[in-house]
Amino acid sequence: MKPNKVVKLLSYMLVALVAGAAGGYLATLSLEKPAPEVETKYTVINITGSIEDVVNLAYNRVSPSVVHITSTVLRRGFFFEVIPQRGTGSGIVVTKDGYVLTNNHVIENADEIEVTLSSGESYEAELIGSDPANDIAVIKILNPPENLEVAPLGDSSTLRVGDLVIAIGNPFGLDRTATMGIVSSLNRSIRSEHGYIMEGLIQTDASINPGNSGGPLVNSRGEVIGINTAILTTSGGSIGIGFAIPINKAKVIMERMIQEDREIKRRPWLGITGITVTEELARVLNLPVKEGAMVVEVVPGSPADKAGLRGGEVQVIYRGYILTIGGDIIVEIDGEKVASMEELVEIISSKQVGQEIEITFVRGGEVMTTRAKLGGRK
């Protein structure tokens, strides 16, 4: 190549790079039409946002739909006392009515499941379906808020080795943490802790740690292209080899579970536990009424909770049993007398999911009313 041709080529490169740097962008050389004297072909340059901008936009698009999942398994201790064992993980909201996609191992054997949204609000959830062989599970938030953010799902079949990806989750309980890396390899196979061979996995060097499980692996466009599921480690922490289930595979399993769940009729639900008020109990505890259903506990986020009902706070021993007292005493629902917990359950069962009811209750000797919109559960 002649010297003057080299000078002209370097000039084109300098102009492109300086223009990109001045605007705070990364740039690579592109010439739509090679200069007449340049015989070699060069790659067309696309000027895009900086890596920081790409990660920030992708994170802001997906993170509102990422949830923190707390699963509780109830075990018996040496003296047969109940000991709750808690685990945490991540998940993504996939529908406006509260379905959440996560890993099977995040909620496996859980007696209680709690979902914390990006707003900080926590809700009870139930298991809809699980697939241990593919480590996929779907749970549903009970009585979710109307402003749920839904994750944008991408197409994992378009992934290439070297593509930039961001892992979002709750490692070690640190909510909505983002780590960045690339797709290190595709179609990886690993053996799960249950002995299943999981195939077709995405390998990434984006840091994935305990608590990231069930969270999204996101592409540079802010689309979920994988569900983080496992790491290869010698220390329990990330060493730069993580695996994600391709979202295309997860979607097929998830959609089947959601469809099956929607076909099952759900029963109305108020969201309390309680005890029957008898004349003897009323006399012993000096209660203001002789019959009704005393609220022991109100499920957070439930229709009862939203209606302002309160559970008990004081524990007493009655006939050898520990009772929690001091909660509201429900005496009527829609004008129909409630003399016991059995009657309350029967009345609620006769209603419809989504129906609004009027509840008359006694609190501190004062008769009060409130309204609740019944939720639904299996």
Label residue 356 by pLDDT band (50, 70, 90): very high
Give the model's pLDDT for residue 29.
29
Q: Show which of 264, 296, 322 is a domain's final residue.
A: 264
Nearest partner of 304 among 365, 371, 362, judged by Cα: 371
Let me know whether 218 and 365 are in one domain: no
More confident site: 316 or 135: 135
Angle ∠(261,265,269) on CA atoms, nearest 5 = 100
How many structural domains compose the chain?
3
- What CATH number does the domain containing 301 carry? 2.30.42.10
Label residue 313 by pLDDT band (50, 70, 90): confident
Nearest partner of 356 among 331, 328, 333, judged by Cα: 333
Tell me: pLDDT of 222 over 80.
yes
Let me know whether 75 and 165 are in one domain: yes
Let me know whether 358 and 276 are in one domain: yes
Q: What are φ and ψ of residue 263, in 5° steps?
A: -80, -15
- Show the 3-state SS of 266-317: CEEECCEEEEEECHHHHHHHCCCCCCEEEEEEECCCCHHHHCCCCCCCEEEE
The one-letter code for the residue type at 298 is V
Let me know whether 260 and 273 are in one domain: no
Question: Contact 338/290 with Cβ under 8 angstroms?
Answer: no
Q: What is the dihedral of CA 332, 338, 341, 342, to 10 degrees?
A: -130
Let me know whether 344 and 196 are in one domain: no
Tell me: pLDDT of 26 over 50.
no
**Tens-digit pLDDT profile for residues 27-82:** 222 333 333 343 334 343 343 568 888 888 888 999 999 999 988 876 555 444 44
Predicted structure pTM score: 0.60
Let me know whether 88 and 221 are in one domain: yes
Long-range contacts of 282-291, Cβ-Cβ distance < 8 Å, separation of 24 or more:
284/318, 285/316, 285/318, 285/325, 287/329, 288/329, 288/362, 288/364, 288/365, 289/329, 289/331, 289/362, 291/331, 291/339, 291/340
Let me know whether 169 and 58 are in one domain: yes
Let me know whether 323 and 287 are in one domain: yes
Give the model's pLDDT for residue 191.
82
Let me know whether 257 and 331 are in one domain: no
Let me know whether 124 and 33 are in one domain: no
Tell me: pLDDT of 23 over 50.
no
Let me know whether 158 and 213 are in one domain: yes
Domain hosting 41: range is: 3-48
Q: Show which of 216, 242, 264 is a domain's final residue.
A: 264
Let me know whether 258 and 279 are in one domain: no
Q: Show which of 264, 294, 318 is a domain's final residue.
A: 264
Active site residues: 105, 135, 213
